[in-house]
Each structure stands twice: as structure tokens, then as C-alpha cells.
């Protein structure tokens, strides 16, 4: 089975968050089920620099008014197609924001052009290759499915994965005539509270919608979790499926991680200590006893990072330490920097984005804090499990179903892998930290928890099979329709 995946990010070429991790690892897992994936990405500056020998497949004289090329390359075990449209993608900043942290002014056009090209590649194929199904991710590529549904290739099966409903791709309605979609698509799919909704259009145009955990699939049906799209989600209820993310067990393998001076496994926990000292040195903290708590995260309201900054005194009183690595909301960054100044022996913060440091933090810290207010799936807690760094998570979305809380029964049954907390507020988080410190002081219990965490199966195996089932069912339905037509 050949499919086209369409995404604005893919690890290791371009990443701002978990979307890249998923699109970078799922194709490798699908291979085992006989699914061959080509992944189409925009040719951002970083991508073009990383793939200097990409081959020319096709040229465009006028793609939304600009010249473009479709290129092909192999990298990191992935089969890639790249839309090289320098006017849209060769610029400073990240995929969505410019170097000053503002949205690129023409995002509506950049991602419409990308999606239009994706729909043509998906519908007609390129050279001798033609996919039998299109799988788009998030709002950036959601319009691909609308271009297919309202174009000549309406019969190609379409899957949309929503990684986070908070990001919807909403733009002024005045751009509609420039999208090149028929008038009826506006009222049927694109119109969203008087504006254009790219994600909403994708939700309407998809045959099947997946979200990244079964709990999130339930949460988004309610007004609180649906973020304005709960009506659409309820209308599509029967076609919405929650599939929990897996992780790339090769990229995140503590026993041979090139980012670590002290690789370790569940059987060599003492070697892990070397990473603790490396970590404390990197963050300028003393080599003291006591739990090292960590957070590697976007510093945003969604992630509950303001809550964490507000309870920094806990680490001082309980003789623990906190290391934080992330970037995001300047107000939250400021709160952490203030806390580090107030408790220099206990709290240390590095603002920024550093993949290698993220690996060391998972390997060296005792516990990973993920106090998200909502979390579609979350990957940090999965990496933490694999690295024996006990996850302390808010009970929401994917966090609630990937971590087993260390209540007495679960500890006794040797099933516990972390700590969950509710309510998701200051008190809830403080209480969770205190529970963690108590558990940490019971060394044997903590070690058992760590061993159990490291045993957790975070692979893609089961989830890749679920994606494969969705693809197969859609292809069968499609074949039946054609026979009866
Ligand atoms: P989200 O995609 O919502 O940000 P996830 O938990 O799914 O949340 O994925 C976040 C990914 O980004 C993980 O791979 C995490 O390690 C990584 N990450 C987040 N912040 C940083 C950072 N400052 N430096 C390095 N990696 C980071
Ligand atoms: C989004 C979500 C996160 C999820 C990731 C990958 O960024 O916020 O919860 O893990 O996508 O699916």
C-alpha cells in the first residue's frame, strides 16, 4: 500500500514539537505492516540546507503566483518529497513564525499553496508513483483534503490527524477567492465563524479523522475541549478515532544514546548516576542528595508552565532541585528566571531549544513534570518513561492514559509508572510534588517505580496497526463503491 503523508514538520529535518516526532517515526513503524509512505514537506531554509542533493521531480511556473519545484530525497529512513517554493519557505524564522516571533504575514497563502500542491501530487501521482490514500496532519496541510474533495480526484481516500485542536489556521474570509476552490466549499467546509477555518475544512473533507489519544477523542466532543469545533466534531463523531502516539525507540534509546556520556539500561541503574552529575553541572547546580525534578517543554499556558513557575518554593523547602529547559511565552520565561534568581541552589533554567540537552535531562533527572491544562497525547512523558525519569502528569488527555498513578494498589501490584494529579491548579501540583518527594524517600519503592516505567511499551507497534486498519478499511470501502458505480 502506497500512501502520501502531508505535514509541515518532520523529525529530524524540521521540528517545533511533537508533530515532527510523530511524522518522523510513524512511517518507519508502518513499513512493518506493508505500508510505504512518502512524506511531503515544505522546503524551508533548514530543510533545503539539509538535503543538498535532492532530485528534481517536477516544476511549477505558477503556484499561487510563485515558481516552485517538487524534489525527492531520502533521509533518516524516510522517503521525502519537498515543495521548494523559495518565496514562501526560504526565509528566516521558523515554519509558522518569523524571527521576531510573529506569524508569517502570508501563512494563509503559504499553506494553501503547499496543500494545493499536495492534492495534485496525491491525486495524480508523480512519475511512476501514485498513492492510494492521503494522510494529512494538522491545519497546515488540512486544505489538501478540501482540494481533493472538491477537485477531480475526489475519489482518493482522505485521512486527517489532529494533533492539537488549539491550532486551527483561521484567516480572513476575503482570501477565499484566491484559494481556487469552488464557491460551495465555502459554506460546506471552509466557513468558520465568518472567517476561513483550514482545520475545519479538513475535518469536513476527511473520510476519517484521527486524534492522538482516545481520551482526547472524548474530550473534544465537549464545549470545553472542543475549542469552537465541538459541533463539527460531534457531527463527525462516528468517523473520529483516538490513537495514542508511539515513540521512535531508536532515537530515544538510553542504552546507546549518542547525546549521553553514560548510556544505561534498566539493568544498569547505577550508570544513570553519571548523567545526573552531568545534568547538574550543565545547569550549575550543586551535587546534592535529593530529587531532581525537570521540565522540557514549550513554556505556555497549555502546558501549565505558569503553575510550575509559581510553585518553585516547593523545591527549596523540600530540598529538591528543578531544572527547566524550554521557550515560549516571555511572561512565563520571566517567572522561571526570577525563581532561579530567588533559589539559585535549587532552581536552574535554560531558555532555548536544544534537542541534545533534552536527552540529557530525561537521562539525568529523577522526575519529569508535565502539568498541562490539556494535552492531546504528549510525548515528553513517554520519553521520560523510557529513560527511567518518573513522569508527574496532570490527569488530562493522553497523559491520563499513558501513565499509571502510583496509588497504593498500583505500587503494590508493581504496575505504577508515575504520578497523576487533579485538579490542575497550584494546589494539585503542590500535592503531587509532595507525594513524589515522599515516594523518592522510600528508595526501594522509587527504584521499583523506575524499573516499571522503563518496562512500559511505548513503541508504535499497536498504534501503527490501528492506522493500518483505518487505511485498509477505507481502501476496501472505496473499491466496493467503484464496483457498484
Ligand atoms: P507539543 O508537541 O505539544 O509541544 P509533545 O510532548 O508532544 O508536546 O512534544 C514535544 C516535543 O518537543 C518533545 O520531543 C520534546 O522533547 C520537544 N521539546 C519541547 N521543548 C523543547 C526544548 N526546549 N528543547 C528540546 N526539545 C524540546
Ligand atoms: C501536539 C500535542 C501533543 C502531541 C503532539 C504529537 O503538539 O500538543 O499533545 O503529543 O501533537 O501528536
DSSP 294-315: EEEEEESTTTTHHHHHHTTHHH
Domain-embedded: residue 255: no
- Looking at the structure, do residues 119 and 183 belong to the same domain, yes or no? yes
Helix orientation angle between 426-441 and 443-455, rounded to the nearest 10 degrees: 110
Domain-embedded: residue 85: yes
41 pLDDT higher than 90: yes
- Looking at the structure, do residues 339 and 212 belong to the same domain, yes or no? no
Domain-embedded: residue 375: yes
Domain-embedded: residue 77: yes
Using CA positions, which residue lies closest to atom 10 of ligand 2?
A: 378
137 burial type by CB count under 10 A (0-12 exposed, 13-18 middle, 19+ buried): buried
39 in Cβ contact with 2 (< 8 Å):
no
Domain-embedded: residue 253: no
Ligand 2 contacts (CB < 6 A) are 17-19, 22, 163-164, 212, 245, 375-379, 398
Of 163, 396, 464, the residue with max ligand 2 atoms within 8 A of its CB, to mutate for a pocket test, comes to 163
Residues 6+ apart with CB under 8 A from 174: none
CA-245 nearest atom, ligand 2: 12
What pLDDT score does 480 carry? 81
- Looking at the structure, do residues 328 and 239 belong to the same domain, yes or no? no
Of 325, 332, 352, 380, the residue with max ligand 1 atoms within 8 A of its CB, to mutate for a pocket test, comes to 380
The beta-strand segments (E) located in 100-166 are 133-137, 158-162
Domain-embedded: residue 47: yes
Q: Is residue 216 left, alpha or beta, with left meaning phi > 0 and alpha meaning psi from -120 to 50?
A: alpha
485 pLDDT higher than 70: no
User: What's the distance, CA 63 to chain centroid?
Assistant: 29
432 in Cβ contact with 421 (< 8 Å):
yes
- Looking at the structure, do residues 389 and 475 belong to the same domain, yes or no? no
- 49 lies in which domain range? 2-246+461-484
User: Which helix (H) or strand (E) segment is 21 a member of?
Assistant: helix 18-31
pLDDT tens digit sequence for 340-375 = 999 999 999 999 999 999 999 999 999 999 999 999
- Looking at the structure, do residues 277 and 225 belong to the same domain, yes or no? no
Compute φ and ψ for 20, nearest 5 degrees: -65, -40
pLDDT tens digit sequence for 26-38 = 999 999 999 999 9
- Looking at the structure, do residues 141 and 279 belong to the same domain, yes or no? no
DSSP 79: E
Burial 166-179 (b: 16+ CB within 10 A, else e): ebbbbbeeeebeeb
CATH number at residue 367: 3.40.50.2000
Alpha carbons 299 and 369: distance in angstroms, whole number = 12
pLDDT tens digit sequence for 154-171 = 999 999 999 999 999 999
HSE-up of residue 181 (Cα within 13 Å, Cβ side): 30
- Looking at the structure, do residues 63 and 173 belong to the same domain, yes or no? yes
Per-residue pLDDT band for 335 (boundaries 50, 70, 90) equals: very high
- Looking at the structure, do residues 119 and 137 belong to the same domain, yes or no? yes
Helix (H, G, I), strand (E, B) or coil at 455: helix
Residue that is written with C-alpha cell 542504552 in the block:
255
Domain-embedded: residue 252: no
- Looking at the structure, do residues 223 and 301 belong to the same domain, yes or no? no
Domain-embedded: residue 261: no
- Looking at the structure, do residues 436 and 313 belong to the same domain, yes or no? yes
Burial 95-115 (b: 16+ CB within 10 A, else e): bbeeeeeeebeebbbbbbbbb
- Looking at the structure, do residues 237 and 368 belong to the same domain, yes or no? no
CA–centroid distance, 163 to ligand 2, in Å, is 5
What pLDDT score does 315 carry? 87
- Among the bound ligands, name the one nearest to the CA of residue 325: 1
* Structural domain count, the chain: 2
CA–centroid distance, 85 to ligand 2, in Å, is 27
What pLDDT score does 426 carry? 98
- Looking at the structure, do residues 467 and 437 belong to the same domain, yes or no? no
pTM across the whole model = 0.97
Residues 6+ apart with CB under 8 A from 482: 155
Residues 6+ apart with CB under 8 A from 304: 371, 372, 373, 394, 424, 429
Amino acid at each position: 500500500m502506497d500512501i502520501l503523508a502531508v505535514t509541515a514538520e518532520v523529525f529530524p529535518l524540521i521540528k517545533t514539537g511533537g508533530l515532527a516526532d510523530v511524522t518522523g517515526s510513524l512511517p518507519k513503524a508502518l513499513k512493518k505492516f506493508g505500508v510505504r509512505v512518502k512524506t511531503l514537506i515544505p522546503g524551508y531554509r533548514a530543510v533545503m540546507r539539509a538535503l543538498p542533493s535532492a532530485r528534481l521531480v517536477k516544476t511549477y511556473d505558477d503556484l499561487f503566483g510563485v515558481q516552485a519545484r517538487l524534489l525527492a530525497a531520502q533521509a533518516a529512513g524516510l522517503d521525502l518529497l519537498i515543495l521548494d517554493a523559495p518565496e514562501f519557505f526560504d526565509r528566516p524564522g521558523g515554519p509558522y513564525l518569523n524571527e521576531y516571533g510573529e506569524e508569517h504575514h502570508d501563512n494563509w497563502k503559504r499553506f494553501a499553496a503547499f496543500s494545493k500542491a499536495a492534492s495534485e501530487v496525491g491525486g495524480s501521482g508523480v512519475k511512476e508513483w501514485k498513492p492510494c490514500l492521503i494522510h494529512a496532519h494538522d491545519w497546515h496541510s488540512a486544505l489538501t483534503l478540501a482540494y481533493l474533495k472538491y477537485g477531480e480526484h475526489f475519489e482518493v481516500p482522505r485521512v486527517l490527524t489532529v494533533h492539537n485542536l488549539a491550532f486551527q489556521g483561521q484567516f480572513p474570509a476575503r482570501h477565499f477567492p484566491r484559494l481556487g476552490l469552488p464557491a460551495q466549499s465555502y459554506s460546506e467546509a471552509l466557513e468558520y465563524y465568518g472567517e476561513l477555518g483550514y482545520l475545519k475544512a479538513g475535518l469536513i473533507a476527511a473520510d476519517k479523522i484521527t486524534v492522538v489519544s482516545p481520551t482526547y477523542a472524548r474530550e473534544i466532543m465537549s464545549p470545553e475541549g472542543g475549542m469552537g469545533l465541538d459541533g463539527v466534531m460531534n457531527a463527525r463523531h462516528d468517523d473520529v478515532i483516538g490513537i495514542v502516539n508511539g515513540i521512535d525507540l531508536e532515537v530515544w534509546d538510553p542504552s546507546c544514546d549518542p547525546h549521553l556520556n553514560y548510556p544505561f539500561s534498566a539493568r544498569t541503574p547505577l550508570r544513570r548516576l553519571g548523567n545526573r552529575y552531568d545534568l547538574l553541572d550543565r545547569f550549575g547546580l550543586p551535587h546534592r542528595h535529593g530529587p531532581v525534578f525537570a521540565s522540557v517543554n514549550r513554556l505556555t499556558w497549555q502546558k501549565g508552565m505558569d503553575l510550575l513557575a509559581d510553585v518553585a518554593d516547593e523545591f527549596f523547602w523540600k530540598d529538591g532541585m528543578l531544572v527547566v529547559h524550554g521557550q515560549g511565552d516571555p511572561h512565563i520565561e520571566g517567572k522561571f528566571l526570577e525563581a532561579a534568581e530567588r533559589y539559585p541552589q535549587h532552581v536552574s533554567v535554560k531558555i532555548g531549544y536544544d534537542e541534545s540537552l533534552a536527552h540529557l535531562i530525561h537521562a539525568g533527572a529523577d522526575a519529569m513534570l508535565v502539568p498541562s491544562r490539556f494535552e492531546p497525547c504528549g510525548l515528553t512523558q513517554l520519553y521520560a518513561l523510557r529513560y527511567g525519569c518518573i513522569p508527574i502528569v496532570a490527569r488530562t488527555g493522553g497523559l491520563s492514559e499513558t501513565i499509571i498513578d502510583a496509588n497504593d494498589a498500583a505500587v503494590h501490584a508493581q504496575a505504577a509508572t508515575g504520578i497523576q494529579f487533579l485538579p490542575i491548579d497550584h494546589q494539585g501540583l503542590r500535592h503531587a510534588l509532595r507525594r513524589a518527594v515522599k515516594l523518592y524517600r522510600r528508595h526501594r519503592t522509587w527504584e521499583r517505580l523506575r524499573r516499571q516505567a522503563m518496562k512500559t511499551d511505548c513503541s508504535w507497534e499497536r498504534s501503527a496497526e490501528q492506522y493500518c486498519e483505518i487505511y485498509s478499511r477505507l481502501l476496501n470501502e472505496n473499491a466496493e463503491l467503484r464496483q457498484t458505480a
